[in-house]
Amino acid sequence: MSGIEDTCVLRARGLRKQYGREAGLVRAVDGVDLDVAAGQTLAVMGPSGCGKSTLLHLLGGLDRPTAGELFFGNRRVDQLSERALAPLRRHEIGFVFQAFPASRRAHRPRERRTAGPVGQIITTAGAPPGPPAP
């Protein structure tokens, strides 16, 4: 029988990211628990400044959490060195940035069908048409 550990590709426990201190303390990500299964599509939604980008940067291994644990499959990755993170970033994690042509194309309703998961996410989130692709 396969448990959640077998199918879970990404797991976060108590993930936190804080900026600044004392009166200037910002809790950008404040104790996120998350399990993402293989093949699952997930949209992170919320108002500007609520921590979406910070969370995605943490989940993608681009930034380090202040506290908490992050696993890719069964490997704990939040404490890996830059050298150890490099092959993960190169081979196992993909990012489509907002400003990149692939995601800009996916904003066009006509092209969402062929834009794969990015188009589906944009459609699910109900985003308005973005700028024209170059």
- Residues making contact with ligand ADP (CB under 6 A): 19, 26, 28, 46, 48-54
Least separation in angstroms between residue 89's CB and ligand ADP is 19
What string marks each residue from 21 to 50 as x (binds Mg ion by CB under 5 A) or -?
------------------------------
Size of the site for Mg ion (CB under 5 A): 2
Identity of the residue, 51 or 65, whose beta carbon is nearer to ligand ADP in the bound complex: 51
> In angstroms, what is the minimal distance from the CB of 11 to ligand ADP?
20
Alpha carbon 127 to chain centroid, angstroms? 18
64 contacts which partner out of ligand ADP, Mg ion, none, CB within 5 to 8 A by kind?
none
CB of residue 7 to ligand ADP, shortest distance in Å: 28
How far apart are the C-alpha atoms of 1 and 66, rounded to whole Å?
35
> Do 1 and 50 meet the contact criterion of CB atoms below 8 Å apart?
no
* Interacting residue with Mg ion among 18, 53, 120, 123 (CB under 5 A): 53
Q: Dihedral (C-alpha) 44, 65, 6, 91: value to the nearest 10 degrees? A: 90
Contact partner, 133, from Mg ion, ligand ADP, none, Cβ < 5-8 Å per class: none
Q: Yes or no: say if 131 and 106 are a contact pair by the CB < 8 Å rule.
A: no
DSSP H/E element including 14: strand 8-19
Alpha helices in the chain (DSSP H): 4-7, 52-59, 82-91, 101-106, 109-112, 116-125
